[in-house]
């Protein structure tokens, strides 16, 4: 299957228009139509209805496979190019919004799960939110002339960008059991280096009935109002899976990556969110059960690049 044809098909399905897809891809509308016809002929079935432009049942099935296929191809291309590339003069990296909050935290920050709030606060004393900035300063000192670009984006974008070679390295955060790595993508295998882990808290309004408690079990909050902020807070599907509950349904959705906005929504009573303990939320209660941690990992395709290698020492 020609990846160019597959990419055209995905773009048309996303745009819902041949002309809009042609504009996005930089093709003529005629070329887009020819790509779709060639793919349909190859597979022996229509993939798109034309008026309106929507996937057929066969097209829907192909879309399920398309993203992993294209990502794996991009990853393979990036890995090959890394073996041929000259030492770079630019370092492009990406981070999820809260990954830098965890970078530099002590690896044992989550050890006091059974302790009260006071023990949790002591465990966080070694957190160093500026660890990434310090590492980048060392890059500038050791490799003068290296142009550094830092992008803050969502988890999926960091993973896909590192896999495809758009970013040299990435920092990504998420929620996992203490001994488990993050589950990032089934489509590609990425090299990862653990950086830090941190305890979890529930951020809630100051006047919430549970404010001031020394700890809580997440399952007891399954039916609470939750904010769905997938690129900042612990994803609600992860909380459902961890607690074996069908609760944790979103009452409010925040699709952005600004932590201040999320905390304002929480303190205004729009819902709760599970966050790392290092986040400066006004009112929090430690998560005691189930045993989960906020984990930060470094993603990379190749750490032979000297500037990238420096950033592998964030922990």
Task: Count, in order, helices (H) and strands (E) of the chain.
Answer: 11, 13
pTM, full prediction: 0.68
Q: pLDDT at residue 124 above 70?
A: no
Could you tell me the two tokens for 94?
């990406």
Task: Count other C-beta atoms under 10 Å from residue 181's C-beta.
Answer: 12
- Count of CB atoms situated within 10 Å of the CB of 81: 11
Q: What are the structure tokens assigned to 12, written together? A: 């048309």
Answer with the residue of higher pLDDT: 14 or 88: 14
- What sign does the CA torsion over 227, 228, 229, 232 have? positive
What pLDDT score does 116 carry? 33
When pLDDT is averaged across residues 24-36 and rounded to a whole number, the result is 91
List the domains of the chain with CATH numbers: 3-82 (1.10.10.10), 90-106+131-192+295-314 (3.40.190.10), 199-292 (3.40.190.10)
Q: Is the pLDDT of residue 122 over 60?
A: no
Encoded tokens for 57: 């049942």
pLDDT tens-digit map of 202-247: 999 999 999 889 999 999 999 999 999 999 999 999 999 999 999 9
CA–CA separation, 11 vs 1, rounded Å?
A: 16
Question: What was the pLDDT predicted at 147?
Answer: 83
Residue 149 CB partners (closer than 8 Å, separation 6+): 90, 91, 92, 93
Query: What pLDDT, in 10s, does the model give residues 172-213?
Result: 999 999 989 888 876 566 778 888 889 999 999 999 999 889
Structure tokens at 35: 């790509």
Taking the CA atoms of residue 223, residue 229, residue 232 and residue 233 in that order, the dihedral angle to the nearest 10 degrees is: 0
pLDDT of residue 315: 57
Helix (H) or strand (E) holding 152: strand 147-152
Q: How much of the chain, in percent, has pLDDT values that exceed 90? A: 50
């Amino acid at each position: 299957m020609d990846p160019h044809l597959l990419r055209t098909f995905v773009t048309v399905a996303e745009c819902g228009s041949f002309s809009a897809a042609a504009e996005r891809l930089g093709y003529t509308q005629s070329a887009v139509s020819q790509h779709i016809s060639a793919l349909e002929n190859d597979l022996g079935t229509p993939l798109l209805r034309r008026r309106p432009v929507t996937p057929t049942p066969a097209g829907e099935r192909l879309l399920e496979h398309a993203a992993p296929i294209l990502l794996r191809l991009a990853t393979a291309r990036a890995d090959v190019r890394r073996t041929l590339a000259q030492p770079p003069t630019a370092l492009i990296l990406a981070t999820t919004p809260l990954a830098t909050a965890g970078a530099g935290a002590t690896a044992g920050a989550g050890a006091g799960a059974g302790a009260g709030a006071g023990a949790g606060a002591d465990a966080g004393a070694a957190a160093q939110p500026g660890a990434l900035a310090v590492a980048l300063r060392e890059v500038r000192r050791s490799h003068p002339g290296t142009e550094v670009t830092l992008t803050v984006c969502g988890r999926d974008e960091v993973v896909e960008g590192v896999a495809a070679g758009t970013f040299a390295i990435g920092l990504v955060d998420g929620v996992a059991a203490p001994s488990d790595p993050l589950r990032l993508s089934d489509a590609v295998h990425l090299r990862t280096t653990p950086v830090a882990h941190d305890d979890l808290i529930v951020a809630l309004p100051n006047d919430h009935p549970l404010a001031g408690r020394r700890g809580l079990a997440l399952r007891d909050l399954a039916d609470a109002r939750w904010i769905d902020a997938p690129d900042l807070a612990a994803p609600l599907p992860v909380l459902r899976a961890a607690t074996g509950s069908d609760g944790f349904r979103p009452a409010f959705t925040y699709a952005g990556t600004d932590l201040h906005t999320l905390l304002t929504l929480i303190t205004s009573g729009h819902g709760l969110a599970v966050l790392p303990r290092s986040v400066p939320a006004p009112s929090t209660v430690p998560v005691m059960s189930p045993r989960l941690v906020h984990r930060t990992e470094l993603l990379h395709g190749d750490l032979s690049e000297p500037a990238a290698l420096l950033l592998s020492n964030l922990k």
